[in-house]
Structure 1
Amino acid sequence: MKPNYLTILITTLCIFFNACHNSNTAPQLQLADSLIDKRADSALCILEKLSIEEISNKSAKAMYALLLTEALDKNFKSHRNDSLILIAVDYYKDNSNNKLKTKAYYYLGRVYQDNKEYIKATEAYLTALKTASPNQAPILQIYNNLALCYESQEFYLPAIKTYKESYATAEKMQDKYGILHATRGLGNVYAIQDEEEKALSYYQKALSIAQSIKDSLWENAIFCDIAKVYDDQGLYIEAKKQIDLALRYAPSNINLSPTYFWKGSILYNLEETDSAIHYLSRASTKANIYTKASIYQTLYEINKENKNYEQAILYNDTALTCYDSIQKIIHHTEINNLIKKHSIYIYIKKK
């Protein structure tokens, strides 16, 4: 196997920067910036060796705050609060560099979105749109995340409008992934509203794009989307065909618990109980607490119908344990959710 010299170089630099407390952080920030698009993990490694308290220059401090927030986001690390990104926003908000101003407000939106503060996230994305270049990829990220925020607040008409704006922009840019994101997003919004025919139409378009670019991860996700719509319509045989395709096209390195759960549910609806139990059991191994509750509830129903009462009681007890855990999670977030719902109500009243 050939040595990866870039990885060796980056690792060496990380060790060097950790050992050398040099107040001049410009070279480190420049290196992190050059890596962040294609080697976000390496950029994060470099940035985490620095300390914002040791950076005295305001410009460098703002750049560090922006780059670290971006690196955390691209490495799928959760954003705890807005204190870091606000350093960048406060510096760039009156800056003539629109690219950095746009990026700062975009990542402010990502921080709020991660923390389910959708009103603040929406405002940040709308601010980012004002200075975003119409011909560069960040505008598509802004549109799609803004649409997701509208969707999370059940503002479906603004969500549809925003996804369509994203689609039109992606078409002008000839960005296939941008078109794919927007098309699937439209399918999701229509599916939530039980407009199945429109949802299927957009999902089929999205699937064609995913197949044209040979992206198996997207193919898996969209086949699952289509299967759910058919399942909701009671078209269980067609739903089974689609979920089988989702499994066929699934990449080897992804968590298949959600796909197994949907296949198990569809098989249960088809009264293929043995197969349903098999897939639901497979789904339970890596499922989150919410999916586990649904899995064990379904397994309870199956065993009760089959008069396997002892097994049914065990599954029911496990489901109740999951529901108790969910209730504790809900209890801890209940007050925040009430405050956010009130904020949404005020937001609607202002419109």
Structure 2
Amino acid sequence: MMKIFSCISILFLIVTLSSCGEDKTVSAQLQAAERLMEQAPDSSLSILQQIPFPEKQSAGQYALWCLLFTQAQDKNYIPHTTDSLIRIAVSYYEKTKDKEQLMKAWYYNAAVYHELGDSPRAQDCYLKALEAGKESGDHAILGRIYSNLGLLYIYQHIFDSAIEFQKKAIEHFSILNDTVNIGLSLRNIGRIYAKQNQPDSAIHYYSQAIRFLSEENTSSIYNELGGIYKRSKEYSKALEYIQSALSSLTKDNDTFSIYQNLGDFYRKTGQKDSAFYYSSLALQSRNLHTKANSHLCLSYLEKDQGNYSTSLMYRERYQQVTDSIRYLEQSENLQRIQSLYNYRQIEKEKIHYQQKADKRIIHIYQLAFISICCFVLFILFFLYYLKSKRKENERKEKRIRIEEVRRNGKEEESLQKDDLLKVFMTSPLYQKFTSEEVKISDTDWNNFKSEIDTILPKFNSQLKILRPTIKEEEIKLCYLIKVDISVKQIAHLLYKSSQGISLMRRRLYEKISGKEGSANDFDKLIHEL
């Protein structure tokens, strides 16, 4: 019996010592990963990945592993796909007195939400990180928190708060003499003032930023300064800064945005060949704003040279790109609205479930088992009803939004066509058709109809649907009415009297509509097509 007891004791001692040894090994690995995090984040990540079954370690070790692993992913630019790990760290450090680790946990929780596109929750986590770290001396993280909060407020167009947070970030970066982040925060403030159309303030902060940043980070600032001076018509300074942007280019910079800015500068200063050259180069940009502005600049240049069809082509491409930009912005706005809605729903659910838990505890002492079951069934039914109702409301709202987008799209399309018609009415071809002294050839007629078909591609087919047997002379009449040629001039072009044209309009209206009407009724019908 004694031998058996001795064997059991020895076995227990071996297991205990083995467990202690393993615990010390994991602690050493975590400490090594933490030490290497700033200088060698890839090595830190490798160490963390070598720890087997981290979830089986102690609660403190697992929480630290979750925090360090999320931090290592962030520093190695590995995309975050879930908040599950960092939430474990936050939950653990909320229960401890370690405010430094809690601040880091909230900061990286915010970084995860920021990357996942959930701005409301990211903002909430950054603010909680500030609260946890209000007495912290970790100026690097505090500076990044203030800077990122400032960026979130910029996206929301809350510019006063954004400037305040960027200035707070500069205070912390200044303590560390972190010139790069000081310069970037100054640049952010400059951009805010540029967005608010305050050029003097924007120039001041951009100039301050250049003092702190290396050449590889200044190209975009020089380009933006060039844009500000260009809009202010200070062309010599504008050219100086745009050329500085070109000379400080690195492989990571957006060359095409500088080309676009330079092309527009040359257009405004009357140097058309250079404007054509740089604007054409900028069309290769993947940035939609750069591409759109380049198309617009080329449209203006072609129009100035009397190339109206080419100008119209660039204008149409500009409109296509701006439509894409508008669509993407609407999608981003909807995503932000949805994120805010989800965040509020989560907060409501937290309150709801907390209240439900409190009620359940009270009812455990007050009601019998059957009463509790009935209550739970009622709650479940009520939640199901609310969920169904909410889904139905969401479907209705979605249908309303879709209808509104379609309606706005039709209105924009109509306005665009009106603008193009106005441009056409200033063309030499249109002027030729309004002149009584010029003879119109068949080629002129073909060009005239071709130009209108380009602007109104459905007009000809709609005429033939309304009147399949429509004659060529009647088609010409419809085209002339569509672009507001006077009755007197139409009579001249079609070799008829004004009374004959009026009779022709009235009869054609009766053939199309199947009812009697006036010549004005026919004009109205044509303008509505």
TM-score normalised to structure 1 length: 0.75
Structure 1: which 5+ residue stretches go unaligned?
Answer: 1-21, 346-351
Residue 158 of structure 1 aligns with an amino acid whose one-letter code is S
Q: Partner of 1:123 in structure 2?
A: 124
- Percent sequence identity is 28
Give the alignment of 1:221-260 within 5 angstroms.
221-260=220-259
- Separation in structure 2 between the aligned mates of residue 109 and residue 234 of structure 1, nearest angstrom: 43
1:333 deviates by 4.3
Check 1:67–1:324 CA distance in 2 against 1; reply closer, same or farther (3 A cut): farther
Alpha-carbon displacement from aligned partner over 1:220-246 (angstroms, at most 9, x marks no partner): 232123223213323233212101101
Deviates more, 1:58-67 or 1:229-238: 58-67
Check 1:43–1:307 CA distance in 2 against 1; reply closer, same or farther (3 A cut): farther
Structure 2: which 5+ residue stretches go unaligned?
Answer: 1-21, 345-529
- Separation in structure 2 between the aligned mates of residue 159 and residue 177 of structure 1, nearest angstrom: 19
Give the alignment of 1:1-351 within 5 angstroms.
32-41=33-42, 43=44, 55-57=55-57, 58-132=59-133, 133-210=136-213, 215-309=214-308, 311-312=310-311, 314-316=313-315, 318-323=317-322, 325-326=324-325, 329-330=328-329, 332-333=331-332, 335-339=334-338
1:340 deviates by 5.6
Residue 172 of structure 2 aligns with an amino acid whose one-letter code is T
| Structure 1 counterpart SS, 2:183 | helix
Contact 1:134 1:169 in 2 (8 A): no
- Separation in structure 2 between the aligned mates of residue 105 and residue 272 of structure 1, nearest angstrom: 54
Q: Partner of 1:10 in structure 2?
A: none
Deviates more, 1:296-305 or 1:326-335: 326-335
| Structure 2 counterpart SS, 1:251 | coil
| Structure 2 counterpart SS, 1:137 | helix
Check 1:82–1:259 CA distance in 2 against 1; reply closer, same or farther (3 A cut): farther
- Separation in structure 2 between the aligned mates of residue 161 and residue 190 of structure 1, nearest angstrom: 13
Q: Partner of 2:483 in structure 1?
A: none
- Separation in structure 1 between the aligned mates of residue 33 and residue 303 of structure 2, nearest angstrom: 58
Check 1:92–1:333 CA distance in 2 against 1; reply closer, same or farther (3 A cut): same
Contact 1:25 1:55 in 2 (8 A): no
- Separation in structure 2 between the aligned mates of residue 50 and residue 291 of structure 1, nearest angstrom: 46
1:31 deviates by 5.5
1:323 deviates by 4.2
| Larger gyration radius, structure 1 or structure 2 | 2
Residue 163 of structure 1 aligns with an amino acid whose one-letter code is Q
Residue 89 of structure 2 aligns with an amino acid whose one-letter code is A
1:208 deviates by 1.9
Contact 2:103 2:130 in 1 (8 A): yes
Higher relative contact order (CA 8 A, sep 6+): 1
Contact 1:258 1:287 in 2 (8 A): no
Alpha-carbon displacement from aligned partner over 1:124-170 (angstroms, at most 9, x marks no partner): 11111123323531111111111111222122221222222222333
Alpha-carbon displacement from aligned partner over 1:55-99 (angstroms, at most 9, x marks no partner): 433444434433343334334454444334323322323333333
Deviates more, 1:27-36 or 1:257-266: 27-36
| Structure 1 counterpart SS, 2:218 | helix
Aligned length, in residue pairs: 319
Contact 2:139 2:172 in 1 (8 A): no
Residue 56 of structure 1 aligns with an amino acid whose one-letter code is K
Contact 1:65 1:85 in 2 (8 A): yes
The RMSD of aligned alpha carbons is 3.5
